[in-house]
Chains A and B, each alone.
Chain A
Amino acid sequence: MSPDATAGPRRPEADAGAMVSVRAVSKVYPGGVEALSDITLDFPKGKLTTILGPSGCGKTTLLKIVAGLLPPTAGEVTVAGRRVAGPGPERAFVFQDFALMPWATVLRNVAFGIELRGVPRAEREAVAMRHIAEVGLQGFERHYPHELSGGMRQRVGLARALAVDAEVLLMDEPFSAVDEQTRRKFQEDLLALAAGKGKTLLFVTHSIEEAVYLSDRIVLLSRRPSRVSSIVEPAIPRDAPPEAIRRHPAYLDTVEAIWRGLKQYLD
């Protein structure tokens, strides 16, 4: 990777303490497929880190290990200093295919995480309403998922993750099942939301542009069995309007540099 992509004024902030630490994690699936090989990574607190890599490289596997949905074959993950042995309330997951309950309204879907914690109905619905409004879905509380577009469904998935007030949001290609225009708007909204909340976001994507546009830090994985191939911190001013970011030389250079780095993994 070219050094100019990693240089930038934001570099020192990145070391402001790791929220999620991945230590020497390997994953071999039953049947012998080696998805991850000796991954060691830190995800800084309050930052959006993207995991990017060639398709089938184990990005999602890594995210699910952090989520506690998959056990690593070797190594360990700590979140806020505690070792991960399963899912926990400090982490919330946003799914690629939304994973909404089709029999439940938007309101109940969003409130589901806190419903499981036994929060009384009136209270959890008030919390859910707030987050539904936050993702721009007010007025759709009583709708069912099948009455919404793909982009709106993923907003429900995001609101559900926000409603449990987890410090870490794990997002597994959340926009890949959403059409291009909706995705752009969604990315902008996500940045605005993330900026205000100080949450730590782990974001898996296969889109270089999406990664560069959204991320404070980009982790590039190699082809399976995946290792960390490089870490990029785009030096892009986040306070600029979205159109300006997408035209910013640092944005364009970083996209280009990452593309050059990933091209070697394509046949």
Chain B
Amino acid sequence: MTAFGYRVPQWVSLLVWAAAWEAAGWTDLTLLLPPLSGVIAKLFEIVPTEHFADALLLTARAFAAGTLVAVAVGVPVGMCMGRYETADRLLLPWVNMFVSAPLTALVPVIMALFGFGETTIVLTVVLFAVWIVVLDARAGARSLPASLEEMARSYGASVWQAFAKVYVWAALPEILAGVRLGLLRGVKGVIVGQLLVSVVGFGHLFEIYQSNFLMEHMWALLLVLFALAFAIDGALAALEKRVEYYAAAR
């Protein structure tokens, strides 16, 4: 992000709301809202615990595996849809349906099929992340300049070479945008999966905190998850910027 002046108001706004939270917490308005300072203190208390480390490890593993599958499947499928009319006609209606469908409702189905373990959570991440990856890879493949495609063909590229050496790179800005959105949806997926399964990872912790009315714990955990999602987005935005320079030059 270029604008330092754009970042500052954001932080100021965060500070204002943090102050409001703190103030509201001190008024003892409701048990549900402990003061922010207490939550942050609790955050430093629970983050070093083993439960938290276990949950974080499981979450990170499921998230990594799920998004990896989503990208590994989504990008080739999307590229094929973008290049081949038949594949597009066959798949596009489904992709469009799933990209906007309330996917949370499908998680119990996955649970019924694959049990209450990590597989279910990984598949939930895939289910959340893959569609937008497909759509953006498709858009990238469709925006491929005709002359680059002709260049690959006229210099004798096989279909495989054309995809691996030209099409994927030409579509990279769109693909990365899709991956970024996919990862954010994956974060949702990994949390939703764990909440619904609720016997592993952060879902389990949430379950414990809520049933024992540990509001400071719960808010602290939420803050951690928000920060994680924000960090992932920031890292990808930085990566996207590195390929931006040629998105305009294509």
Chain A residues engaging chain B, CB cutoff 8 angstroms: 64, 67-69, 86-89, 91-93, 95-99, 101-104, 112-113, 115-117, 144-146, 160, 164
Q: Is B94 an interface residue (CB 8 A)?
A: no
Residues in B whose Cβ lies below 8 Å from that of A96: 147
Q: Is the interface of B mostly helix, strand, loop or mixed?
A: helix
Check if A116 sits within 8 Å of B246, measured CB to CB: no
Check if B155 sits within 8 Å of A112, measured CB to CB: yes
Interface residues on B, range: 20 to 34
Check if B249 sits within 8 Å of A145, measured CB to CB: yes
Q: Is B7 an interface residue (CB 8 A)?
A: no
Interface residues of B in 227-250 (CB under 8 A from A): 243, 245-246, 249-250
CA distance A39 to B213 in the complex (A): 85
Check if A69 sits within 8 Å of B165, measured CB to CB: no
Check if B155 sits within 8 Å of A113, measured CB to CB: yes
CA distance A164 to B245 in the complex (A): 29
Residues in A whose Cβ lies below 8 Å from that of B147: 95-99
Name the distance in Å between A82's Cβ and chain B's nearest Cβ.
15
For the complex of A and B, list the 10 residue pairs with the smallest distance between their C-beta atoms, beginning with the closest.
A102-B246, A99-B151, A99-B147, A146-B249, A113-B155, A93-B154, A102-B249, A87-B154, A103-B169, A95-B147
CA distance A64 to B149 in the complex (A): 13
Residues in A whose Cβ lies below 8 Å from that of B145: 97, 99
Residues in A whose Cβ lies below 8 Å from that of B166: 101
CA distance A97 to B166 in the complex (A): 16
CA distance A121 to B151 in the complex (A): 20
Q: Which of B148, B157, B161, B246 contacts A99 (CB 8 A)?
A: B148
Q: Which of B148, B155, B165, B243 contacts A164 (CB 8 A)?
A: B155
